[in-house]
Amino acid sequence: MASRQYATFEVADQLFGLDVAKVQEVLSFHEYTPVPLGPRSIGGLFNLRGQVIAAVDLRVQLGLAARDFDGPAMNVIVRTEEESVSLLVDRIGEVVELDDDTVEPPPDTLTGPSRELITGAFKLDGRLMLALDTNRAVQTTTGNGIDE
Amino acid sequence: MCLVEKEAALDELGDIVQEFLVESHENLDQLDRDLVALEQEPGSRELLSSIFRTIHTIKGTSGFLAFNRLERVTHVGENLLARLRDGTQVMTPETTNTLLRMVDVVRTLLTAIEESGAEGDVDVEGVIEAVTRCIESANAPAEPAPAASASAPAEVKAAPTPVETEAPAAAEATDATPEPVPAAAPAVEADVDTVLTAAVAAAASASSADEEHASGETAAAQARRSIADSSIRVDVDLLDKLMNLVGELVLTRNQMLRAVTATSDANLARTGQRLNLITSELQESVMKTRMQAIDHLWSKLPRVVRDLSGSVGKQVRLAMEGRETELDRSLLEAVKDPLTHLVRNAVDHGIEAPADRRAAGKPAEGVLTLRAYHEGGHVIVEVADDGKGMDPNKIADVAVQRGLLTRDQVAHMERREILNLVFRAGFSTAEKVTNVSGRGVGMDVVKTNIERIGGAVDVDSTLGEGTTWRLTIPLTLAIIQALTVECGPERYAIPQVAVHELVYLDGQNGRVIEHAMGAQVYRLRGKLLPLVRLDETLGLPMSSGDRDVYVAVLQAEGRKFGLVVDRVLNTEEVVVKALSSRFKEIGMYAGATLLGDGRVALILDVPSLARRAHLNMGAVERAQQELDAVTGTHDNVDRLLIAGVGERRVAIPLDMVTRLEEFPLERFERVGAREVVQYRDQILPVLRLAQMLGVYSEGEQASSVPVVVYTERGRSVALAVDRIVDIVEDVVGAERDFGDDGLKGSAVIQQRVTELLDVRRAIMAADPRFDADLDTEAGAGYDSDSLMVGA
């Protein structure tokens, strides 16, 4: 039976997961350079070993209020075809191995911007993990986050 | 299975073709140079041999790769070259043209091969025929056609060795074929082919007379081989990757060094030092691998100049200075088209026809000078001609006619600004449109292309003496000089090439931001400079008031504007990082960079900011008119420097003054009847205003003399006065009279009668070379004083 590893993290107390193969690294960082006039969901730019990385505020992507940058934020750096992008999250969770057949389509009651980003729901012990579509999660070119 | 094998074989062949293309392009450049050089030195066996070898190499490989058209073209070319090399036929301009034409066809074929992998349907018959005709015509006068076959043996006798005669003889035989050309072509091919093989084989086993030549050739070949052996071809992508890695290494080193200084481990500190040195050296070396001499680009230009000057009936000599100047390969590529355009433009429009030049007292042959040199972290490339120059008046007229500017706007512009109008889109002063240039496209494209790579263009011209186009190009795309500024809590980088000056506004003494119909402006030396507030432009909360701010005077797209920022930090070299495509549509940033502390800073895109500034231009221009109406600056200057000369007071327009200096008496030296002073590596002619005005100067006893330095177009004049009194803003109650020569009149300034100096006249007295400039600018420049005309 096919199974897959997911890197998990929390945003606004909801557990999300990303295919571990897409995740380059996870790190905490606290100095972000804002990009005035940039997409609203861009939290800022930071320097990852000489590379300029754009940090996407996952809260905004999910239709929530933007993060305030008081302290360090956790970055999940994901590799996309063109570049490495960071997703700003609240807390990092474990890496879990899940069988492909435990996934269910996103519930119909899930609406709003987050609906677009989620490919499915996994039933873990006591809580649900929502699997994110990496490409859509980092997509910011449409001005203010998600185009509805 | 079979298919896979075939593909692999094709792949391998593809590599060979690639290599062949690269090599051939290089060879062709060499060929162009050689052919043009050959014209100067028609008898040079060395050049001819070199050309022959090049064509021979291409022919050989194209035969192997089954590029038949290419093979046939190079074949006849080689045939002609062999005759030239062996002295059977002499070089004529027509021969050169034919050979160049052949080179062009070869190039077209190579391009076709590069693009499609096949030769396509490039027409080669024309050039084959032309080359053949060239060979024929050389023979024709000596040998009437019917006697051709008979004459062949005769020539064998006349020729120095049997080896050398074989090719020409055979060529004649083929030439003599009476059939019409299309049918004859294959026959010619076949014949020449056999003969050539024979000729080449024979040349290898060189006979006595040819030995010397052959050994020379071998030596030359060895020399070339040793150069080839000492270098390898490297993929540019690989170099780019290397460059990026080194960039990362540099940053890691920086972090490391910071960490090391925090510890007290002496061993670690030493290691850190070493790492530091090695990284710097590595960075430098990797940068160097991407550098190429500008000659790489220039080597194509002699041909361009030769062809163009020939077709427009001009005589042009191309001079090159600093051909070893290096710059980044990718930049070289980007500069290629603009540079070629400027060169073509200079030949077509800059340099006059020989008759006009003689009439103007210049040698018939014009000189086009290419100059390249390093200056302040940039490479400067100049294209200078000694042609007719550009007339600012005419440019201004055209700008007004085309509706680009109004009369009033033009009247307020400096000479250089007017000249730079030629970079505006849709601008051409050429009276007649030629197929070369003058169609109103070009200069704006030149500018756009150069600005795209973070460079700048500028032009200066003296009517009757020539025009100099100046490209300022960053050394590499990866590292630029940048000014770091602060706006709110963030820092931004501005490419230094766009920064003209910095002004601090303390909110006092006229150093204030003013408002004109909602547009913010600053009076920069009496002219209104439109301002762009960085915080506002970026949609940030207004972080600064109107006081205690800095204005960075920037220039892009031919206009100046001021960028208001909170603080100016410093100028440093920064590594440019490309911004993710998701930020492209903002259009406000040219990239990002990492500052010394590792933080990311955005690099501002000056042309975008400039466009924003121009949105406000309407309001600024109206304000300028109002300002003029109030202060009367329209035909007067609004700030004056008051100097004391004996008992008299003289007013000098401040915007003509570059600097105020005080020179000790012993600095004044005499050259002939003139007084001069050495100043910043220049020799300035001195004009003592006291002498000019015929007054007794108190300065003659003083140990030092206050001097007003006036500079224009790199030439300066020192006006010696007795003392600097004041600088005044407004001229009230100006009264004109026709006083002494060199004075425009007098006015009451600060309750005292003050004489207005006619700076140009005064300067002419000190430096008659300014004379020429006076003619071109009277009536168009800063001062259209009708009284002077009346007088």
Six token digits for residue B219: 């030596």
Candidates A37, A49, A141; nearest CB to B538: A37
Candidates A37, A51, A83; nearest CB to B586: A37
Least confident window among B27-41, B331-345, B741-755: B741-755
Question: Mind telling me how many Å the CA of A139 is from chain B's nearest CA?
Answer: 8
Task: With beta carbons less than 8 A apart as the criterion, state whether B21 and B110 touch.
Answer: yes
Please determine, for residue B451, whether its predicted confidence score (pLDDT) is greater than 70: yes
Question: Mind telling me how many Å the CA of B578 is from chain A's nearest CA?
Answer: 8
Note the pLDDT of residue B629.
62
For B101, the enclosing helix (H) or strand (E) is helix B93-116
Amino acid letter, B286: V
CATH number of the domain enclosing A91:
2.40.50.180
- Percent of chain B past pLDDT 90, that is, above it, reads 8
Could A52 and B592 be called an inter-chain contact, meaning their C-beta atoms sit closer than 8 Å? yes
Instruction: Return the axis-axis angle of helices B2-40 and B45-64, rounded to nearest 10°.
Output: 160
B600 touches chain A (CB under 8 A): yes
Six token digits for residue B80: 């002609």
Number of domains in chain A: 1
Q: Which residues of A touch B577 (CB under 8 A)?
A: 51-52
Q: Which of A33, A49, A57 to mutate to test the interface with B (most CBs of B within 10 A)?
A: A33
- Percent of chain B past pLDDT 70, that is, above it, reads 71
Distance, in Å, from the CA atom of B760 to the CA atom of B742, rounded to the nearest integer, reads: 8
Please determine, for residue A87, whether its predicted confidence score (pLDDT) is greater than 90: yes
Note the pLDDT of residue B484.
92
Q: Which residues does B41 contact at the CB level (< 8 Å), separation at least 6?
A: B47
Distance, in Å, from the CA atom of B167 to the CA atom of B179, rounded to the nearest integer, reads: 21
Question: Mind telling me how many Å the CA of B372 is from chain A's nearest CA?
Answer: 33
Could B581 and A47 be called an inter-chain contact, meaning their C-beta atoms sit closer than 8 Å? no
Please determine, for residue B115, whether its predicted confidence score (pLDDT) is greater than 90: no
A5 phi and psi angles, rounded to 5 deg = -95, 140
pLDDT tens per residue, range B96-112: 888 888 888 888 888 88
Distance, in Å, from the CA atom of B308 to the CA atom of B344, rounded to the nearest integer, reads: 7
Please determine, for residue B752, whether its predicted confidence score (pLDDT) is greater than 50: yes
Find the mean pLDDT for residues B9-38.
Answer: 73
B302, B376, B446, B450 from B380: Cα distances, Å? 20, 9, 15, 12
To which residue do tokens 């050394």 refer?
A: B475
Distance, in Å, from the CA atom of A138 to the CA atom of B157, rounded to the nearest integer, reads: 84
3-state DSSP assignment of residue B630: helix
Local structure of residue B637 (DSSP, 8 states): -
Q: Could you tell me which of A118, A119, A120, A116 has the C-alpha nearest to residue A142? A: A116
3-state DSSP assignment of residue B319: strand
Q: Which residues of B touch A83 (CB under 8 A)?
A: 580
Distance, in Å, from the CA atom of B375 to the CA atom of B389, rounded to the nearest integer, reads: 25
Please determine, for residue B157, whether its predicted confidence score (pLDDT) is greater than 70: no
What is the per-residue burial (b if ≥16 Cβ within 10 Å, else e) of B132-159? Answer: bebbbebbeeebeeeebeebbeebeeeb
DSSP states of A71-121:
S-EEEEEEE-SS-EEEEEESEEEEEEEEEGGGEEPPPTT--SHHHHHEEEE
B322 touches chain A (CB under 8 A): no
Candidates A33, A47, A140; nearest CB to B490: A33
Q: Could you tell me which of B590, B380, B379, B579 has the C-alpha nearest to residue B476? A: B379
Could B252 and A50 be called an inter-chain contact, meaning their C-beta atoms sit closer than 8 Å? yes
Q: Could you tell me which of B450, B477, B453, B473 has the C-alpha nearest to residue B337? A: B450
Ordered alpha helix ranges (H), B534-657: 534-537, 606-615, 617-631
Local structure of residue B265 (DSSP, 8 states): -
Query: Does residue A72 lie within any of the structural domains?
Result: yes
Give the CA count within 13 Å in the CB-facing half-sphere of B562. 26
Please determine, for residue B161, whether its predicted confidence score (pLDDT) is greater than 50: no
Task: State the pLDDT confidence band at B11, using cuts at 50, 70 and 90.
Answer: low
Query: Does residue A67 lie within any of the structural domains?
Result: yes
Query: Does residue A88 lie within any of the structural domains?
Result: yes
Distance, in Å, from the CA atom of B117 to the CA atom of B18, rounded to the nearest integer, reads: 10
Question: Mind telling me how many Å the CA of B508 is from chain A's nearest CA?
Answer: 31
Question: Mind telling me how many Å the CA of A31 is from chain B's nearest CA?
Answer: 7
**What domains appear along chain B, each with residue ranges and CATH number?**
2-229 (1.20.120.160), 236-289 (1.10.287), 293-474 (3.30.565.10), 479-630 (2.40.50.180), 635-790 (2.40.50.180)
Note the pLDDT of residue B441.
46
Note the pLDDT of residue B66.
79
Task: State the pLDDT confidence band at B423, using cuts at 50, 70 and 90.
Answer: confident
Tell me the residue range of the domain where A49 lies.
3-137
Six token digits for residue B546: 């109107």
Q: Give the strand order in the sheet containing B549-556.
A: B499-505, B549-556, B559-565, B527-533, B519-524, B514-516
Distance, in Å, from the CA atom of A118 to the CA atom of A140, rounded to the nearest integer, reads: 16
Distance, in Å, from the CA atom of B698 to the CA atom of B702, rounded to the nearest integer, reads: 7
Q: Which residue of B has its CA nearest to A35?
A: B602
Query: Does residue A26 lie within any of the structural domains?
Result: yes
Q: What is the largest CA-CA distance in chain A?
A: 48
Candidates A37, A51, A140; nearest CB to B539: A37
B106, B505, B522, B566 from B547: Cα distances, Å? 66, 6, 12, 9
Q: Which residue of A has its CA nearest to B588?
A: A37
Task: State the pLDDT confidence band at B599, using cuts at 50, 70 and 90.
Answer: confident
Note the pLDDT of residue B778.
36
Task: State the pLDDT confidence band at B612, using cuts at 50, 70 and 90.
Answer: confident
Give B326: exposed, middle or buried? Use CB within 10 Å, 0-12, 13-18, 19+: buried
pLDDT tens per residue, range B213-260: 445 545 555 554 444 556 777 887 888 788 778 877 877 777 777 778
Note the pLDDT of residue B740.
54
B315 phi and psi angles, rounded to 5 deg = -110, 120
Six token digits for residue B609: 């900011």
Note the pLDDT of residue B741.
60
Give B670: exposed, middle or buried? Use CB within 10 Å, 0-12, 13-18, 19+: exposed
Q: Which residue of B has its CA nearest to A46?
A: B600
Q: Which residue of B has its CA nearest to A36?
A: B538
Q: Which of A73-77, B331-335, B755-759: highest mean pLDDT?
A: A73-77
Q: What is the dihedral of CA B266, B272, B276, B282, to 10 degrees?
A: 130
Distance, in Å, from the CA atom of B708 to the CA atom of B49, rounded to the nearest integer, reads: 63
Note the pLDDT of residue B175.
42
Query: Does residue A143 lie within any of the structural domains?
Result: no
Please determine, for residue B784, whether its predicted confidence score (pLDDT) is greater than 70: no
Could B602 and A83 be called an inter-chain contact, meaning their C-beta atoms sit closer than 8 Å? no
Compare A11 and B662 and report the one with higher pLDDT.
A11
Q: Could you tell me which of B488, B543, B762 has the C-alpha nearest to residue B643? A: B762
Question: Mind telling me how many Å the CA of B587 is from chain A's nearest CA?
Answer: 9
Least confident window among A86-90, B463-467, B556-560: B556-560
Query: Does residue A64 lie within any of the structural domains?
Result: yes
Query: Does residue A43 lie within any of the structural domains?
Result: yes
Could B248 and A34 be called an inter-chain contact, meaning their C-beta atoms sit closer than 8 Å? no
Compare B499 and B402 and report the one with higher pLDDT.
B499
Could B599 and A31 be called an inter-chain contact, meaning their C-beta atoms sit closer than 8 Å? yes
pLDDT tens per residue, range B647-693: 788 888 776 677 777 788 888 888 777 788 887 777 788 888 887 77
Q: What is the largest CA-CA distance in chain B?
A: 106
The full length of chain B comes to: 791
Question: Mind telling me how many Å the CA of A23 is from chain B's nearest CA?
Answer: 19
What is the per-residue burial (b if ≥16 Cβ within 10 Å, else e) of B683-709? Answer: ebbbbbbbebbebebebeeeeebbbbb
Task: With beta carbons less than 8 A apart as the criterion, state whether B494 and B554 touch.
Answer: yes
Give B202: exposed, middle or buried? Use CB within 10 Å, 0-12, 13-18, 19+: middle
Could A47 and B598 be called an inter-chain contact, meaning their C-beta atoms sit closer than 8 Å? yes
Note the pLDDT of residue B789.
28
Tell me which residues of chain A have a C-beta less than 8 Å from any C-beta of chain B: 31, 33-39, 42, 45-47, 49-52, 54, 82-83, 85, 140-141
Candidates A31, A34, A39; nearest CB to B582: A39
Task: With beta carbons less than 8 A apart as the criterion, state whether B766 and B742 touch.
Answer: no
Could A52 and B251 be called an inter-chain contact, meaning their C-beta atoms sit closer than 8 Å? no
CA-based R_g, chain B, Å: 34
Give B608: exposed, middle or buried? Use CB within 10 Å, 0-12, 13-18, 19+: middle
B258 touches chain A (CB under 8 A): no
Q: Which of B491, B583, B612 to mutate to test the interface with A (most CBs of A within 10 A)?
A: B583
Q: What is the dihedral of CA A129, A132, A137, A138, to 10 degrees?
A: 110
Question: Mind telling me how many Å the CA of A32 is from chain B's nearest CA?
Answer: 8
Q: Could you tell me which of B455, B240, B439 has the C-alpha nearest to residue B348? A: B439
Provide the 10 A C-beta neighbour count for residue B29.
Answer: 17
Query: Does residue A29 lie within any of the structural domains?
Result: yes
3-state DSSP assignment of residue A43: strand
Six token digits for residue B145: 């056609």
